[in-house]
Structure 1
């Protein structure tokens, strides 16, 4: 069954607010979690895991926010539909996090990482569904080529 999407400004604004809240929480969490509380031989590994997941999570959220900003610009008339199709795509999701690294992090950090992954997956589904609407519709260039072929 094909997914249908009817993105509208209200949905985009709600998702944008949720994304900003989640990005703020990520910033706060990773700022505060720079202190590893358990001292063990895994302390260095935990710091590396924390740094890696902080980078992945913030990158994930910034990609989602950028996608939402493009949608907002389109609804505000600042981007045409063609510009949005050409430049407004969401990068593919990142590789699954390493379970051994996640085990070194606190439950709060793991919960935040998972929330950001679920949020990105929601945005990815919207992006995929909105792109599928344009499949089978010729672009202006294809339409012009077809007209030229018929004329010649």
Structure 2
């Protein structure tokens, strides 16, 4: 029988991913995009919006809202993953909190009358946020698949029997 030091350890993909250089790059990109967006919308974006007619102004307002909502949800997802990597939250806690983040409904909305007037700078930020959203969706799908696989392994009748045998014949205190 294997001792506690030599027993196999399940590697949690969430923890490994959150501590990876790949995640760090996506995190920096996402948070940088949040900051860039805030600076644009509070500065040059206000000036750009004043140049639009009524339809353009409505499209600008709608796209700005979609953009900020998308970025806030992405930032929330990224911060949760970073908390795992930093050891601030356990993966189980993050799994419970994940339901508050809705990534699926953050894509491009319907094209509005006046969208053709939107400033290039805003369109560029929107395009980059949508690309980031797609990458985060892929990462999130991988994490969910790992969650399901872990749950299935833990709920296996064979694993339950092995656990019972191990507890019956394991070291006694």
TM-score by length of 1: 0.76
More displaced 10-residue stretch of structure 1: 93-102 or 16-25: 93-102
Contact 1:61 1:116 in 2 (8 A): yes
2:60 corresponds to 1:50: yes
Q: Deviations over 1:117-148 (max 9, x none)?
A: 11111111101111111214337x967xx96x
**Partner residue in 2 for 1:102:** 115
Q: Deviations over 1:56-107 (max 9, x none)?
A: 1111111111111111111222211211222135412325333344312022
In our comparison, the structure showing a higher alpha carbon Rg is 2
**Partner residue in 1 for 2:3:** none
**Partner residue in 1 for 2:36:** 25
Unpaired segments of 5 or more residues in structure 2? Answer: 1-12, 165-173
Point out 4+ residue stretches in structure 1 off by more than 6 angstroms. none
**Partner residue in 2 for 1:77:** 87
Contact 2:18 2:84 in 1 (8 A): no
2:25 corresponds to 1:14: yes
Contact 1:67 1:88 in 2 (8 A): yes
Which of 105, 113, 119 is the matching residue for 2:126? Answer: 113
2:150 corresponds to 1:137: yes
Gap change, CA 1:95 and 1:71, over 3 Å in 2: closer
* Higher RCO (CA < 8 A, seq sep 6+): 1
2:89 corresponds to 1:87: no
